[in-house]
Structure 1
Amino acid sequence: MTTVPEPWMQRLRDGAFPPVRKTVVAVAVLGVLGLASIALELASGVGVGSGDGRSTRGWLLP
């Protein structure tokens, strides 16, 4: 078997799965921030019932 110059290539050839901890944490943080921003958007009540079609939209969601 030939040797590879990169250590990560050798780990992949050996069948080792790359670490995904940082990716999972980043996706979880983005999910929590997204849900929190939607909750703040719905709870703000800005422009609700003013009669103007544009003002019924909140400050974050289009």
Structure 2
Amino acid sequence: MRAANAQARAHDLKGAIDRARADGATSLTAIAAHLNAQGITTNQGGQWHPQSVKRVLAMQQNNT
């Protein structure tokens, strides 16, 4: 159940991550900063960190 929720959330975040990249965010740190600046929280309601972005990107890649 938890894994399914994480995969659904990763799918939902694709647009936000794509916008971050379109705005010039090229590193995991920059993407995390962009998500935080937009007020988008992690599944746990916390701040984004490079490692959490990396996990989401890996989930997105595995689902394609």
Calculate the TM-score normalised by the size of structure 2: 0.34
TM-score normalised by the chain length of structure 1: 0.35
Choose between structure 1 and 2 for higher RCO, CA contacts under 8 A separated by at least 6 residues: 2
Per residue, is there more helix in 1 or in 2? Answer: 2
Larger radius of gyration: 1
